[in-house]
Homo-oligomer: A and B are copies of this chain.
Amino acid sequence: MSILVVGSVALDSVRTPMGEAKDALGGSASYFAAAARHFNRVVVVAVVGEDFPVAHMKMLEGLGVDLTSLERAKGATFRWAGEYEQDLNTRRTLDTQLNVFADFKPRLRPEHGEIEFVFLANIHPELQSGVLDQVKQPRYVVLDTMNYWIQGSRKALETTLARVDAVLLNDEEARLLSGHSNIYHAAKAVLDMGPSLVVVKKGEHGAVLIARDFVFVVPAFPLESVSDPTGAGDAFAGGFVGHLSTCADPRDQNALRAAAAHGVVCASFAVESFSLNRLATATRPEIDRRLVALRDLVRF
């Protein structure tokens, strides 16, 4: 069982109260892949420029990530620069250079169209749909998005939403997409748009799964030191889709609950360092130990 992700592979420059990183490996597909590779083979569909360091390619390949659908285009790699305030909850984008990403048209190698588990990271909803067009028999599709698409490409987003199983949103995105301020009302309105699951990402407070027949709350894994929240949502998605890809029925409530628990554990490794530094060194036994600790954390 393989997993397909379409998203960005980027060079990030990030400043947080804990330090900074310059032109470090980032992007939604990178974080997702570094988490999901613990569960199954991950195929990355993305584009990088001529300047993308070979060392980063080798690092990802060293993790077992399949980069044969990663396009290398003429021009510079997508670059993002941002900084976080003292409490790490408020993020400010300082610079975005789309570069080769501006003309990106995801093209899957034919054999990758057979993959059944798909993560559509936060890119233009038309590109997300374009990827789905190339997937023959999707079994479980998760979509991420953001305010920019909700406001600027609503119709395309609604078309794509109708084709996916789960959507990742934060509080603000859920409200903007639905028009409801109560998060449960908001989620129900989003369920009416097609997905059978809404995953509300709450950052340091964890995540909430809302389906028609159940609600599940999972806290963030407690950490004494958070260096850089970048990529937490994508690492969550990696653990989430990764675990689901190992389940007999990815729509089963218990599978979805456990998947979210794997998600917050993967996210906890992502935020412990800049870039993929900690996430890339995390081992499956470490993930399993945090899962045990997470279960104890909520026990009563």
Contacts and interface: CB of A to CB of B under 8 A. Distances in A.
B217 A181 contact: no
Given A86-B181, A181-B86, A297 B222 contact: no
Contacts of A232: none
A36 interface: no
A185 interface: yes
A250 interface: no
Contact of A300 (B182, B202, B224, B258): B258
A70 interface: no
Nearest to A184: B224
Nearest to A210: B222
Interface string A245-283: 000000000100110110000000000000000000000
A216 interface: yes
Q: Which 9 A-B pairs have the closest CB atoms?
A: A257-B300, A217-B219, A205-B205, A298-B298, A261-B300, A184-B224, A217-B297, A258-B300, A215-B222
Interface string A1-38: 00000000000000001000000000000000000000
A292 B26 CA distance: 42
B181 A87 contact: yes
A297 B216 contact: yes
Interface string A217-245: 11100111110000000000000000000
Given A17-B181, A298-B298, 5 more contacts: A87-B181, A184-B222, A215-B297, A218-B298, A257-B299
Interface in A143-166: none
A182 B226 contact: yes
Contacts of A224: 182, 184-185
A49 B117 CA distance: 66
A147 to B, nearest CB: 16
A297 B260 CA distance: 13
A203 to B, nearest CB: 10
A219 B219 contact: yes
A206 B208 CA distance: 13
